[in-house]
């Protein structure tokens, strides 16, 4: 029996030869099972079938612990002599939608092609193999690199009235994978930043400090936008009062994750931000937590800039993330509006309050 498998090449993968690769599939759920296979992976296509756990209201998504197979699966499989690698899409829910995303060869001696298959097909292949069937896959990929080209962050400002050199950055990333529209990843983040600035202007509100919108380029494929901003603006970073990024989707807001190098400042900033959030009367109370802020603003961390990641209700994000399904119809305008309100409000207060976030005043 023959059937077609919906798939997506992973970002950074090499192509297959023109005729494709046809090989038997061996299935493993983690690194230990691959080790145990020993020579059993030689000449085969390795399928990493590691399920991402369902979303947990407190623990969040299991993306962090599951994405490693997408990132490093090709290197691991190639060390065992595999000729290609398939990765179960990193999501807990699927409508037979494959999920792409970046992969890394790192120190791999051989680069083998890497693609994602759907949960449904990973499970089907697993069932067939358990039943003792031999499963062969023909993998065909035309992936290629076109080299580096110039690209730019998009920057706009509402200049501060009395402290224009002090800056609050609000941001999202402008690029997305080549499937779907990148609606939740990360058009909604860009819209939050743009709309925040527009609303403040429309309301005639001009804070003491400058609010700077930055739409980052190249988040998904190397972070060049975030890294070059931190480098080009290095002498200005001491004047960055805060940098806010939204890169978790445009769902109902839940608050912020804070990252700040200095622990005393971190503690004070946590309390100040929570007080600020308590002023907003949304249906769900907003919380400040310590944790990952955003990958584009992170290069500013070493300079001591307080980094805020806008966090949202996360149960649906990875249903769409990096797939053809990440389209604008998945964005609820009410939820997005509440995110805009949170970003605009926070940016305004941080830009206008007498002292700086995290300082004693």
- Which residues 300-339 are close enough to bind Zn ion by CB under 5 A? none
One residue of 247, 259, 326, 352 binding Zn ion per CB under 5 A: 247
Residue with tokens 């193999």: 129
Q: Which of 139, 73, 137, 138 is nearest to 101 (CA)?
A: 73
- Sign of torsion, CA 33 37 40 41? positive
Binding mask of the shown chain, residues 148 to 187, with x at each position contacting Zn ion by CB under 5 A: -------------------------------------xx-
Total site size for Zn ion, rule CB under 5 A: 3
* Shortest distance, position 179 Cβ to Zn ion, whole Å: 14
**Bridge-partner residues for 155, per DSSP?**
214
Q: Identify whether the C-beta of residue 83 lies closer than 8 Å to the C-beta of residue 52.
A: no
Backbone angles phi, psi at 22, to 5 degrees: -115, 120
Query: In what order do the strands lie in the sheet containing 84-88?
Result: 7-9, 114-117, 84-88, 45-48, 21-28, 136-139
| 219 noted as active-site residue | yes
Give yes or no for residue 245 binding Zn ion (CB under 5 A). no
Pick between residue 55 and residue 348 the one whose CB is nearest to Zn ion.
Answer: 55
Candidate segments 142-150, 221-229, 245-253, 329-337, binder of Zn ion by CB under 5 A: 245-253
| Residue 197, CA atoms < 13 Å, CB-side half-sphere | 21
Distance of closest approach, residue 273 Cβ to Zn ion, in angstroms: 23
**Segment lying near Zn ion (by CB under 5 A), choices 37-45, 140-148, 244-252, 296-304:** 244-252
Work out how close the CB of 309 gets to Zn ion at its nearest, in angstroms, rounded to a whole number.
11
Angle between helices 263-278 and 333-352 (to 10 degrees): 120
Shortest Å, Cβ 296 to Zn ion: 9
Query: What is d(CA 209, CA 353) in angstroms, rounded to the nearest whole number?
Result: 9
Between 223 and 288, CB nearer to Zn ion? 223
Active-site annotation, residues: 219
Site residues for Zn ion per CB under 5 A: 185-186, 247
């Amino acid at each position: 029996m023959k059937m077609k498998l919906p798939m997506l090449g992973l970002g950074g993968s090499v192509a297959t030869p023109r005729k494709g690769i046809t090989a038997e599939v061996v299935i493993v759920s983690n690194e230990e099972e691959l080790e145990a296979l020993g020579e059993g992976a030689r000449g085969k296509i390795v399928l990493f079938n590691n399920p991402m756990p369902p979303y947990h209201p407190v623990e969040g998504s299991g993306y962090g612990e599951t994405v490693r197979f997408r990132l490093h699966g090709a290197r691991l499989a190639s060390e065992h002599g595999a000729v290609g690698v398939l990765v179960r899409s990193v999501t807990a829910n699927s409508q037979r939608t494959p999920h792409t995303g970046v992969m890394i060869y790192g120190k791999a001696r051989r680069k083998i092609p890497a693609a994602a298959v759907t949960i449904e097909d990973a499970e089907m292949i697993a069932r067939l193999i358990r039943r003792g069937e031999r499963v062969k896959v023909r993998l065909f990929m035309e992936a290629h690199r076109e080299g580096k080209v110039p690209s730019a962050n998009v920057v706009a400002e509402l200049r501060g009235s009395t402290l224009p050199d002090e800056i609050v950055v609000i941001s999202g990333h402008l690029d997305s994978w080549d499937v779907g529209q990148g609606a939740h990843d990360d058009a909604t983040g860009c819209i939050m930043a743009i709309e925040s600035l527009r609303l403040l202007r429309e309301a005639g509100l001009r804070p003491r400090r400058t609010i700077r919108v930055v739409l980052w380029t190249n988040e998904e494929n190397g972070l060049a936008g975030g890294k070059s901003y931190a480098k080009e603006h290095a002498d200005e970073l001491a004047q960055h009062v805060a940098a806010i990024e939204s890169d978790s989707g445009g769902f109902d807001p839940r608050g912020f994750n804070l990252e700040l190098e200095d622990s005393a400042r971190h503690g004070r900033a946590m309390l100040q931000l929570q007080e600020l959030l308590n002023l907003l009367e949304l249906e769900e109370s907003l919380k400040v937590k310590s944790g990952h802020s955003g990958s584009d603003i992170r290069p500013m961390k070493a300079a001591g800039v307080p980094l805020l990641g806008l966090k949202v209700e996360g149960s649906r994000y990875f249903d769409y993330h990096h797939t053809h399904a990440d389209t604008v119809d998945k964005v609820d305008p009410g939820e997005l509006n509440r995110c805009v309100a949170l970003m605009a409000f926070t940016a305004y207060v941080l830009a206008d309050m007498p002292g700086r976030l995290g300082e004693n005043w």
